Structure formats: C-alpha cells, structure tokens
C-alpha cells in the first residue's frame, strides 16, 4: 500500500477562501452571515472574518438549501429552525455520494 501524505488543514479561512470554495462573491457570504444565526466567524483585531471548518459546513448547508434546492432565504431559515439535523445529514449524504461517484468514474477511466 502506497504512503499517502496527510493533507494539512488550516484552522481559519478568510472570507475570500470561503467564497472561492463555493464559487460565490464574498459579499454573498457576508449577507448570509447577517441573515443566518448559524454562521458566526471570528473576527481578528483588524475586523477580518476568520471561518472555521464548522462555519464552512454551515455555509455549505445554506448554499445547498438556497443555491441547489432553490429555497428562498425565509424558507431556508424555516428548514433550519424546524429540522437542522436532518438538513445537515442530507448535505453530508450528498457529499458522500459525490465522492463515491468521483471514485467510480476515476476507476472506470483507468480500465
């Protein structure tokens, strides 16, 4: 079995990096921060936002509801208020299925 180096994971991400992950404008991330209580990045002395992995996961949930599922902001807020755990589980399941699909496509291409 080949040695695979562990990826280095950052503790904090800038708003630009988070926006790049989701391919959206940083202003949209700031707007969602003001609209949704689950996004609470820390701010340094300069006032720059520092997002943790948990913050990014919460942005992923909102992105899924608003951009992929087509919910309005009010609808996304209600979904999170009513059953946030189910929404989080659904997003994790979709991410798992995407990674399995990617693996299978790579496997097929090698054959």
For 67-110, the pLDDT digits (tens) are 999 999 999 999 888 888 888 888 889 889 999 999 999 999 98
Total domains present in the chain: 1
Mean pLDDT of 43-64: 92
pTM for this prediction: 0.79
Average pLDDT, the chain: 88
Encode 39-88 in three state secondary structure.
CCCEECCCCCEEECHHHHHHHHHHHHHHHHCCCCHHHHHHHHHHHHHHHH
Q: What CATH number should be reported for the domain holding residue 19?
A: 1.10.1660.10
pLDDT at 2 over 60: no
Q: Which residue has the tokens 């299978």?
A: 104
- Has residue 10 been placed in a domain? no
| Measured distance CA(33)–CA(10) in Å, rounded | 21
The pLDDT of residue 5 is above 80: no
In a domain, 29, yes or no: yes
Whether 50 is covered by a domain: the verdict is yes
Question: Does 3 reside within a domain?
Answer: no
- Give the per-residue pLDDT at 72: 92
Which residue segment(s) compose the domain that 28 sits in?
15-110
Phi first, then psi, for residue 51 (nearest 5°) are -90, 135
User: In terms of C-beta density within 10 A (0-12 exposed, 13-18 middle, 19 or more buried), how is residue 55 classed?
Assistant: buried
How many C-beta atoms surround the C-beta of residue 10 within 10 A?
11
Mean pLDDT, range 11-29, rounded to an integer: 93
């Amino acid at each position: 079995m080949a040695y695979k180096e562990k990826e280095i994971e950052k503790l904090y991400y800038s708003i630009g990096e988070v926006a790049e992950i989701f391919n959206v404008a940083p202003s949209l991330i700031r707007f969602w921060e003001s609209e949704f209580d689950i996004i609470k990045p820390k701010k340094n002395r300069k006032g720059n936002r520092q997002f943790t992995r948990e913050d990014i996961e919460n942005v992923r949930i909102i992105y899924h509801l608003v951009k992929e599922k087509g919910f309005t902001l009010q609808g996304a807020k209600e979904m999170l208020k009513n059953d946030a755990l189910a929404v989080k589980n659904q997003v994790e399941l979709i991410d798992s299925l995407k990674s399995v699909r990617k693996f299978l496509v790579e496997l097929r291409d090698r054959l």
